[in-house]
Structure 1
Amino acid sequence: MMSNPTTPTLLLLFILTAFSAITSAAPLEHAVSLFGKPAYPEGFSHFNYVNPNAPKGGTLRQSALGQFDSLNPYVDRGVAAAGADLQYDTLLARSWDEPLTKYGLIAEKIERDPDNNWVAFYVNPKARFNDGKPVTAEDIKFSFDLLREKGSTFYRNFYLDVDQVTVTSPERALFKFKHNKNRELVTNLGQMPIFPKHYWKDRDFSSPGLTIPVTSGPYKVKEMQPGRSITYQRDPNYWAKDLPVCRGRFNFDQLHYIYFLDTGVALQALLVGEYDWLMVSDPKHWQKLFSSKNQALLKKTGLVTETLPNSNPQTVMLTYNTRKSFLKDRRVREALGSALDFDRLNQNYFHDLLRRANSYFSGTDLGAKGLPTPEELKWLEPWRNQLPKPLFTRTYIPPGHNDSNKRAQRAKALELLKEAGWRIRDNQQVNSKGEPLTLTLLLTNPENERYTLGYRKSLKALGIELSIRTVDRAQYIERIRNLDFDMVTNVFRHTPSPGTEQKDHFSSAVADLHGSRNLAGVKNPAVDDIVGRIPTATSREQLLSLLHALDRVLLWEHYSLSLWYQPDWPLVHRAYLKHPQQTAPYALDISTWWFDGSQKKTAK
């Protein structure tokens, strides 16, 4: 006769059963997608937007602005060198022809709980650091702990929903979640860079520096002149070079970055042959390329121009720091926006090459249009009494756009300022304390000063004094990290599938943290609610409704003024630099380009 199990035995059985439930074998996957199935099946050979037979070789010379004093792009100290992220591999690699799907890189396989309570990553047995030592699950756990404890503010908040990480075997790292509502947590973890524990355990990860680290990526630093140039050498022994996610990529033997103080000098250096490839962000510079003088230079130096389609939301914004007392009132921010004459600016400075942005996600289906839909109202209605009334009744049109009646526009701006408690005295707006309304716009590129002069003049007509302060890039980055500015132009770097990072851009929780990407200092319960729901979206349609609702709140609260966007990437490069005929819609992926040596020999 079998005796009854004792209480300790039952407890042990319970613990083992619970552990088994967490670690029981789920199907091993080669990729994870936020919605739907991955486009590329297991065993695929390469991404569709690469040339799998692209030749290897040559040096790609590129430009960078400012200077650098660090090789670590994952901390909020120092200025990382251009290309520094190419030193590191991540758990998974993103495909840039899908909104959000990631495929095996350091993690060969992914094991997921069907109820989204945990995920396990299995290390590819081929994975190696560039000192020859294998990547292990211990390195994965170490990297996670390192980023969350000493990484930038972004990483410390990106992984908040992870409860703990356990190494269950040398090749398996198990991530347990605090709850199962964050549906994109698995893909977020997939983009985590992996650092060698044996190298970093006795070093200070949080300090910037130029000591060349042990890494695992396709390139490693060859040489550098601090602040002036840096060269990366393709690792011929790169462990992942034959993986499907790498085939046809990382084709140049060397990547050489040359630093310039501003974009104008950089463009002239390109035209005289100092480097090879440039994405032209300034329409004025793009227009200059087609002058007869520069056309002759293009031909002489073997340069060609082309545009590639850009499906990424990349809106240039004028952002107001609402932490500053003069910018706390929404009516003041709206009045400031009304002073911008975009159409005149576009015609006089940008040759009508820019499109006016009316969204944080302009040029994509992520931006709000028209009036709120029933699906959007589901997220907005609970906050109706705390939100601007026009949000529910009017289509948003950015201030200063297509308004032929400039006098009426100026009158509206003055009325907004009056409602906010400002009065004109001696041609200046002053508050009840007699303080004048004076603001500073912080810039890092001297060339951008030219298009702000008209804006400053318009503000002057309203009684507002605007100073324009241009600082070097290192000082600019430090002031942004310290939230030490009144107004700044910026781009919120969104992906085609925005998610958890929206909290870092707009949530109250990070508004006052050093290094926060919430530049405007948004502290809005409606925004907090919506950005908290975005990672929990169960379908693309639901995600879009949440993003549209978020867009409306941000726009009508006038935290930033949407300026413009470019629907294409304007490029100028040497004719001997080639790219696949089918390019990635969601990224300008220079890693897919290659060097045509035969054409260079014939170039004059």
Structure 2
Amino acid sequence: MGVGLTLLAAPARLAAAESPAIAMHGAPALPPGFNHMAYVNPDAPKGGRLTWGLLGTFDSLNPLIVKGLAVQQIRGYVVESLMARGNDEAFTLYGLLAKSVETDDARDYVTFHLDPHARFSDGEPVTADDVLFSWALLRDHGRPNHRQYYAKVAKAEALDALAVRFDLAGANDRELPLILGLMPILPRHATDIATFEETTLKAPVGSGPYRVTEVKPGTSVTLTRNPDYWGRDLPVNRGLYNFDEIKLDFYREANSQFEAFKRSLYDFRAETEPLRWHDGYDFPAARSGKVIRDTIKTGLPEPSEFLVFNTRRPVFSDIRVRRALTLLFDFEWVNRNYFFGLYSRKAGFFAGSELSAYERPADARERELLKPFAARIAPDVLDGSYRLPVTDGSGRDRESLRSALRLLSEAGYDLDGTVLRQRQTKAPLSFEILVTTRDQERIALAFAGNVKRAGIEAKVRLVDPVQFDQRRLDFDFDMIQNRWDQSLSPGNEQSFYWGSQAADIKGTRNYMGAKDPAIDAMIAALLAARGHDDFVSAVRALDRALMSGFYAIPVLNAGEQWIARWNRIERPAATSLFGYLPESWWQHQAPDVPAK
């Protein structure tokens, strides 16, 4: 399909009324004409600089393609979407570039009406032509998730210079209008289709609150607030984007990154290592209160860390091997010795929320959805009786070892002295765990010790973040540690995480290589669900299909966000459902000193 602007007369149809917001389920929480979001300070002062300390490096300013290591903050700060998330709701969008949206009850179409004031940073207006151009460009040349989502559109057309209609008939995807609402909008006049998929350090032209003003390749990027930003007074933006400058500094190694924070070289860090959170902040600035530590409880499913099996590799193709290795991981020992008991552990991918199937029996709706795939769903997962193994915490639990060896024997492996070998080929059972941080390395080494008791050799390879990211994107590993963050409104991204099609597309997050018709069917069911109860049942059914496949070993659940910040940075008293939001922070204003 071409990407040129086509002006059409509006078809004769009974269209829904235009609305400034759209919710995945139910109605938006905020009424038309709201003043600001509850989790911002609408009177936050403007000015100053926020410096981020990021682990890794970059070679591109385009986060919308697979190639290269991109600066992710370009998305949102520089390049905007048609609509913006309400971060106190599971999945509701409010007007941004599009001042309003309309769709029908079946969600067979969606029309976006652009704000006539919307401008790119070069002063050019945002038009329907730019929206159609962006949709076609990302459908054909964007990241795998964009290609997958936007290809579901049957037809796209401009109703006039500021209105775009997407025909979604046949997609059977009630989330798709919202997915399109989050589509990044690029300027046709400043985007080269021929070079779009190539990495670039050229500053992009966007419509967002910031512009890229300085780039030091691989080291830092500076974003400067656009004084002419068209959307600064929108209710959805009030209290956001308060710093005049955002500095993104990159560090190659985690310890040097932390040392830089201690030296006040950047302003805040989201801490992910319990050992460091527990006793690493005993330095003068933290003791004096110049560094503040915030513990934030979100309303989302608990982020979960996993040791992920790459089932594309023959060593992990047998589910009995994966189940046996799951039994051998001694969480109790790891949690006590490494994490000071700060973590819990649950099975499944939606822990701590109503969407989780763990420790819950399937309801009638779930059973009906899963009935065609009964052979693929473990009975104890279906009835809610499945539990992760609990060891004695010694690191030498005998019962878990015996159970694991029974499963491995069923899979064709026998102990030959102290080495577990394949019965027919006599090849030893061995694999490599790829890690990129010292914390991951410690977990991997502990697990290597666990499996060694069963005669299995697990080699641990520590690589730098750049190599780790590239190998993960290419599925070039046996096992990695990975974290999936889930929302309260999982949707199309689930296909990107574990859909069969995504298993063969590099750059997706289906790291385990799952190819299961039950998973695909449950993703389709959650996308088609109209009511909240049907949606919850479909997500829980998906969770059961994932648990039954033993694609990853649950390592831990993080029930809180740990944020450390220098006291020159202030944040709102209220926290959003999604947790911390740096775009809502501001620089502390020193009191005026009377002149002498």
Aligned partner of 1:443: which letter? V
Q: Which runs of 5+ in 1 are unaligned?
A: 1-16
Give the C-alpha shift of residue 73 in structure 1. Answer: 0.8
Tell me the equivalent position of 2:350. 361
Tell me the equivalent position of 2:158. 167
Tell me whether 1:131 sits opposite 2:119 in the alignment: no
> Which residue among 223, 227, 232 is the counterpart of 2:218?
227
- Give the 3-state SS of the residue equivalent to 1:220 in structure 2: strand
Tell me the equivalent position of 1:302. 290
Give the C-alpha shift of residue 566 in structure 1. Answer: 1.7
Tell me whether 1:332 sits opposite 2:324 in the alignment: no
2:72 and 2:175 mapped to 1: Cα distance? 28
Aligned partner of 1:116: which letter? R
Give the C-alpha shift of residue 246 in structure 1. Answer: 0.4
> Which residue among 56, 80, 87 is the counterpart of 2:46?
56
Tell me whether 1:311 sits opposite 2:299 in the alignment: yes
Tell me whether 1:535 sits opposite 2:527 in the alignment: yes
Give the C-alpha shift of residue 158 in structure 1. Answer: 2.0
1:430 and 1:63 mapped to 2: Cα distance? 46
Mapping of residues 490-509 of structure 1, within 5 Å: 490-509=482-501
- Give the 3-state SS of the residue equivalent to 1:522 in structure 2: coil
Q: Under a length normalisation based on structure 2, what TM-score does the superposition of the two structures give?
A: 0.94
Mapping of residues 255-274 of structure 1, within 5 Å: 255-274=246-265
Alpha-carbon contact 1:128-1:239 (below 8 Å) kept:
yes
Give the C-alpha shift of residue 297 in structure 1. Answer: 3.3
Seen in structure 2, the aligned counterparts of structure 1 residues 402 and 142 have a Cα distance that, compared at 3 Å, is: farther
Seen in structure 2, the aligned counterparts of structure 1 residues 473 and 599 have a Cα distance that, compared at 3 Å, is: farther
Tell me the equivalent position of 2:103. 112
- Give the 3-state SS of the residue equivalent to 2:521 in structure 1: helix
1:301 and 1:133 mapped to 2: Cα distance? 47
> Which residue among 275, 281, 286 is the counterpart of 1:284?
275
1:401 and 1:66 mapped to 2: Cα distance? 36
Tell me the equivalent position of 2:518. 526
Tell me whether 1:72 sits opposite 2:62 in the alignment: yes
Aligned partner of 1:36: which letter? G
Give the C-alpha shift of residue 557 in structure 1. Answer: 1.6
Mapping of residues 1-12 of structure 1, within 5 Å: none
Tell me the equivalent position of 2:26. 36
Give the C-alpha shift of residue 214 in structure 1. Answer: 1.1
Alpha-carbon contact 1:496-1:586 (below 8 Å) kept:
no
Tell me the equivalent position of 1:12. none
1:339 and 1:434 mapped to 2: Cα distance? 22
Seen in structure 2, the aligned counterparts of structure 1 residues 401 and 520 have a Cα distance that, compared at 3 Å, is: farther
Seen in structure 2, the aligned counterparts of structure 1 residues 169 and 302 have a Cα distance that, compared at 3 Å, is: same
Deviation by residue 1:385-416 (Cα, 9 ceiling, x = unmatched):
23333323452222455678811110000111
Aligned partner of 1:517: which letter? R
2:392 and 2:71 mapped to 1: Cα distance? 41
Tell me whether 1:373 sits opposite 2:363 in the alignment: yes
Seen in structure 2, the aligned counterparts of structure 1 residues 599 and 407 have a Cα distance that, compared at 3 Å, is: farther
Mapping of residues 347-358 of structure 1, within 5 Å: 347-358=336-347
2:136 and 2:37 mapped to 1: Cα distance? 32
Give the C-alpha shift of residue 290 in structure 1. Answer: 5.0
Range with bigger deviation, 333-342 or 128-137: 333-342
1:236 and 1:521 mapped to 2: Cα distance? 46
Tell me the equivalent position of 2:169. 178
> Which residue among 373, 381, 387 is the counterpart of 2:377?
387
Seen in structure 2, the aligned counterparts of structure 1 residues 290 and 274 have a Cα distance that, compared at 3 Å, is: closer
Deviation by residue 1:256-313 (Cα, 9 ceiling, x = unmatched):
122122333222211121111111111111012454xx2x232458211121222222
Tell me the equivalent position of 2:3. none
Alpha-carbon contact 2:391-2:397 (below 8 Å) kept:
no
Seen in structure 2, the aligned counterparts of structure 1 residues 519 and 149 have a Cα distance that, compared at 3 Å, is: same
Give the C-alpha shift of residue 144 in structure 1. Answer: 0.6
Mapping of residues 371-520 of structure 1, within 5 Å: 371-393=361-383, 395-399=385-389, 406-431=397-422, 432-520=424-512
Alpha-carbon contact 1:54-1:594 (below 8 Å) kept:
yes
Tell me the equivalent position of 2:577. 585
Q: Which runs of 5+ in 2 are unaligned?
A: 1-7
1:445 and 1:582 mapped to 2: Cα distance? 32
> Which residue among 94, 99, 106 is the counterpart of 1:103?
94
> Which residue among 147, 150, 158 is the counterpart of 2:141?
150
Alpha-carbon contact 2:64-2:143 (below 8 Å) kept:
yes
Q: Under a length normalisation based on structure 1, what TM-score does the superposition of the two structures give?
A: 0.92
Seen in structure 2, the aligned counterparts of structure 1 residues 274 and 439 have a Cα distance that, compared at 3 Å, is: same
Tell me whether 1:197 sits opposite 2:185 in the alignment: no
Alpha-carbon contact 1:507-1:523 (below 8 Å) kept:
yes
Give the C-alpha shift of residue 576 in structure 1. Answer: 2.5
Deviation by residue 1:479-499 (Cα, 9 ceiling, x = unmatched):
122111111111123222101
Deviation by residue 1:138-174 (Cα, 9 ceiling, x = unmatched):
0001101111101011111123321121112110111
Give the C-alpha shift of residue 19 in structure 1. Answer: 6.4
Alpha-carbon contact 1:500-1:534 (below 8 Å) kept:
no
Give the C-alpha shift of residue 476 in structure 1. Answer: 1.7
Aligned partner of 2:183: which letter? M
Aligned partner of 2:348: which letter? S
Alpha-carbon contact 2:15-2:104 (below 8 Å) kept:
no
Deviation by residue 1:420-452 (Cα, 9 ceiling, x = unmatched):
111222422222222221111111224421222
Give the C-alpha shift of residue 105 in structure 1. Answer: 0.4
> Which residue among 35, 38, 46 is the counterpart of 1:45?
35
Seen in structure 2, the aligned counterparts of structure 1 residues 587 and 36 have a Cα distance that, compared at 3 Å, is: same
Alpha-carbon contact 1:164-1:176 (below 8 Å) kept:
yes
Aligned-pair Cα RMSD in Å: 2.0
2:409 and 2:434 mapped to 1: Cα distance? 26
Alpha-carbon contact 2:333-2:393 (below 8 Å) kept:
no
Range with bigger deviation, 432-441 or 131-140: 432-441
Aligned partner of 1:28: which letter? E
Deviation by residue 1:189-248 (Cα, 9 ceiling, x = unmatched):
111000000111455111111111111111111212211122111111111111011010
1:475 and 1:467 mapped to 2: Cα distance? 17
Tell me the equivalent position of 1:559. 551
Alpha-carbon contact 1:576-1:599 (below 8 Å) kept:
no
Aligned partner of 2:273: which letter? D
